[in-house]
Amino acid sequence: MAELLLDAQGVTVRFGGLVAVDQVDATFHAGELVGIIGPNGAGKTTFFNAISGVIAPTSGRLVAQGHELTGAKPHAYARHGIARTFQTPRVFAELPVAANIDFGLKFAGRRRTASWLLKDAGSILNVIGLSAQAALPAAAITPSQQRLLEIGMALARRPRLLLLDEVAAGLTEAEVENMAQLIRRLRDELDLTVVWIEHAVTTLLRHVEWVLVLHQGRKIADGTPGEVVRNAEVIEAYLGDEMAEAVA
């Protein structure tokens, strides 16, 4: 069994009387490419927020490589090799693209070994395909390029576990496919574990190896893409949505 990087045990998040995430268990091991899917309001982003330190879970435990992180701040998660992106890219609009990457490098969390391939802004921009935009202000590049830049900023922190929150949102069909191929390449070439939330379900299912399905805050399925698309509860939760396409 590959090394366990993050163990989420019974994670629950409540906002007043609303249970946004309801006792979700999940384990993420070294080298995995995992997708998290679910209808709007299923609790996917709230779950990400809980396992990256953006919000503290109401109950449950989060353990990263044996270290208790429940309730810790995001910098503690970064120190243990966890980095993430957000639904709306968080870049420094007025700074050049390369300076955004440099910012991430200066505040890198867990340091990787000498084998870590992305040693500077230039190498990161090359991997994500933004070398030609290095000198442009981040505000001047396209929304899809800003999504790539935010991935680059996350990579600059030299993570072991990369959490991607709807990085394909708003992209064209071709851009979504290119993004999926990049995500797989990052996993393969950089020895990353990648956990990817996405509404582009059919694309995600073609590229990931394991899928968690959330619905109304609960985990209703956990398995390979082939198993998940045949799960009756998943099909019902996605009735009239993109899952019907995937099953077809």
The tens digit of pLDDT for each residue in 149-165 reads 999 999 998 899 999 99
pLDDT exceeding 70 applies to what percent of the chain?
A: 92
pLDDT band for position 28 (50/70/90)?
Answer: very high
Query: Rounded distance, CA 61 to CA 10, Å?
Result: 7
Cα–Cα distances in Å, from 59 out to 10, 75, 111, 218, 238? 7, 20, 30, 14, 28
How confident is the model over 38-53, as pLDDT tens digits? 988 899 999 999 999 9
Token reading at 150? 């935010």
Give the C-alpha separation, 37 to 55, whole Å. 20
Distance CA 114, CA 207 (A): 29
User: pLDDT band for position 115 (50/70/90)?
Assistant: very low
User: Average of pLDDT values for 61-75?
Assistant: 92
Range of the domain at 235: 4-246
Q: Total structural domains in the chain?
A: 1
Closest among 43, 109, 119, 51 to 81, alpha carbons compared: 109
Q: Does 90 have pLDDT greater than 80?
A: yes
Please answer whether residues 242 and 225 qualify as being in contact, where contact means their C-beta atoms are separated by less than 8 angstroms. no
**What does the pLDDT read at residue 221?**
94
Percent of the chain, pLDDT > 90?
68
> What is the CATH classification number for the domain harbouring 129?
3.40.50.300
H helices of the chain, where?
Answer: 44-51, 74-79, 97-106, 121-128, 143-155, 173-190, 201-207, 225-228, 232-237, 242-247
Q: Is 174 exposed, middle or buried (CB count within 10 Å of its CB: 0-12, 13-18, 19+)?
A: exposed
- Average per-residue pLDDT for the chain: 89
Confidence (pTM) = 0.91
Cβ contact 169:199 at 8 Å: yes
Residue 245 scores a pLDDT above 70: no
**Token pair recorded at residue 121:** 């802004």
Instruction: Name the CA radius of gyration of the chain, rounded.
Output: 17
Query: Sign of the C-alpha dihedral, residues 159, 163, 166, 172?
Result: positive
pLDDT, residue 216, reads: 93
The label of the residue with tokens 């396992």 reads 51
Q: How far apart are CA 168 and CA 123, in angstroms?
A: 23
Q: What is the per-residue burial (b if ≥16 Cβ within 10 Å, else e) of 107-120?
A: ebbbebeeeeebee
Which sign does the torsion angle of CA 123, 124, 125, 127 carry?
Answer: positive
Per-residue pLDDT for 107 more than 90? no
173 or 140, which is more confident: 140
- Residue 186 near residue 110, CB atoms below 8 Å: no
pLDDT band at 114 (very low <50, low <70, confident <90, very high): very low
